[in-house]
């Protein structure tokens, strides 16, 4: 089923419609609790789902920091949320759909019969459109939910990724650029990326960070630039299998049904037997969603294909973001590093 978006205006008019379930999937890496934010205000009638407890299995129950939940665990969470067959589910968060897309993917993977949508622009767009809110928790009658694991979205393992030969698949890394190159790793055991992967940060699926999705023609061009085109096998990973679902959603928008490496970098980097690559692979992805000041301070400017070719013709190698780092006074340098780590933990740790 194609990935579906609804607007804030659409939701304001229809959030109480029969057989419709609005789901609040807010989650944070910075210590805040999604349920606390939900209790401060949410879409009327929306039920809260907890990413750690309901959209992921217990730690150690599978590969990575957010293992896929066992079918019976997800069936229970889905029933508690009032999601039965035929329910139209609209999921939102306040991070451009980065966490809500995990629910979309799980429902599709488990063969949900019904429409599953993300709220384009999320909680911020809903408030900006003047949507009504409420703060009381929503208790629902338990729905009858049948899970059909494996009927929908595909999952691949670390061994399957390791066995890929050149040309077998396009492997996309949905984390931030600095984590891909290995300049920064705030969460996982080792820095870098899976050899052969291409950088495709999930935030670049959006017009701006935490905002609406790019138009489909821009998404199509963005993915084509890294070899992800209809007919190609495309596998996506991130830090722990959460934000990769955002890129899988965006791919589905343009007719590309990708596969999820569920354990993602947290799984791969934890195994010392697995090789790790650092630095760039091909022209770097443009940094669409950072301010100009952030780009200037922490990453190199985007390199065009023409500039890369001129550089290589002159006998150089692909420029590295590390080569643009300038020595800073100790105090200012520490402040910059702290800011960098906080920013990346906010947008790309999942």
> How do residues 151-180 score in pLDDT, each as one tens digit?
667 999 999 999 999 999 999 999 999 999
Q: What is the DSSP string of 3-27?
A: -EEE-HHHHHHHTT-TTEEEEE---
Inter-residue contact 75 to 112 (CB < 8 Å): no
pLDDT at 257: 95
CATH superfamily of 155-348: Rhodanese-like domain (3.40.250.10)
pLDDT for the residue 208? 87
Tell me which residue of 70, 76, 75 sits closest to 58, measured CA to CA.
70
Which residue has better confidence, 244 or 347?
A: 244
Percent of the chain clearing pLDDT 90 (strictly above): 70
Q: Is 238 a catalytic residue?
A: yes
| Domain boundaries defined on the chain | 4-128, 155-348
Q: Could you confirm whether domain 4-128 is CATH 2.160.10.10? A: no
In terms of pLDDT, which residue wins out, 325 or 135? 135
Contact 238, 174 (CB under 8 A): yes
pLDDT of residue 244: 98
Per-residue pLDDT tens over the stretch 284-330:
444 444 433 333 222 322 333 333 333 333 333 333 333 232 333 33
- d(C-alpha 276, C-alpha 182), whole Å: 9
- Place 210 in a pLDDT band, splitting at 50, 70 and 90: confident
135 — pLDDT class (breaks 50, 70, 90): very high
> Which tokens sit at 6?
């609804």
Helix, strand, coil percentages in the chain from 3-state DSSP, rounded to 5? 35, 10, 55
Q: How many helices (H) and strands (E) does the chain have?
A: 14, 10
Marked catalytic residue, from 106, 178, 226, 238: 238
Q: For the chain, where are the E strands, in sequence order?
A: 4-6, 20-24, 47-48, 88-92, 116-119, 155-156, 170-173, 198-199, 234-237, 259-261
From 71-75, 98-102, 241-245, the region with the lowest mean pLDDT = 71-75
């Amino acid at each position: 089923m194609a990935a579906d978006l609804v607007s804030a205006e659409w939701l304001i008019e229809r959030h109480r419609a029969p057989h419709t379930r609005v789901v609040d999937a807010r989650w944070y890496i910075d210590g805040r609790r999604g349920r606390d934010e939900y209790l401060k205000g949410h879409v009327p009638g929306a039920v809260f789902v907890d990413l750690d407890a309901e959209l992921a299995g217990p730690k150690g129950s599978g590969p990575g920091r957010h293992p896929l939940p066992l079918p019976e665990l997800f069936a229970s969470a889905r029933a508690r949320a009032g999601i039965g067959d035929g329910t139209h589910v609209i999921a939102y968060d306040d991070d451009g759909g980065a966490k809500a897309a995990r629910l979309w993917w799980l429902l599709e993977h488990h063969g949900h019969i019904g429409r599953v949508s993300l709220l384009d622009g999320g909680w911020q767009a809903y408030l900006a459109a003047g949507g009504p809110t409420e703060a009381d928790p929503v208790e629902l009658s338990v729905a009858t939910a049948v899970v059909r694991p494996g009927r929908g979205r595909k999952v691949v393992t670390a061994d399957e990724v390791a066995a890929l030969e050149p040309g077998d698949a396009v492997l996309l890394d949905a984390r931030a650029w600095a984590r891909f190159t290995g300049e920064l790793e705030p969460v996982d055991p080792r820095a870098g990326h899976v050899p052969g992967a291409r950088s495709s940060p999930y935030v670049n699926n959006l017009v701006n960070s935490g905002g609406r999705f790019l138009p489909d023609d821009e998404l199509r061009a963005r993915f084509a630039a890294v070899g992800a085109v209809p007919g190609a096998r495309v596998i996506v990973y991130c830090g722990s299998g959460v934000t990769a679902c955002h890129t899988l959603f965006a791919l589905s928008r343009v007719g590309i049904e990708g596969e999820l490496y569920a354990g993602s970098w947290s799984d791969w980097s934890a195994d010392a037997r697995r090789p790790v690559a650092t630095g760039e692979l091909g022209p770097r992805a443009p940094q669409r969603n950072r301010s100009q000041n952030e780009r200037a301070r922490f990453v190199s400017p985007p390199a065009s294909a023409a500039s890369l070719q001129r550089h290589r013709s002159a006998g150089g190698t692909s420029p590295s973001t590390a080569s643009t780092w300038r020595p800073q006074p100790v105090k200012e340098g520490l402040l910059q590093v702290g800011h960098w780590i906080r920013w990346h933990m906010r947008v790309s740790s999942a």
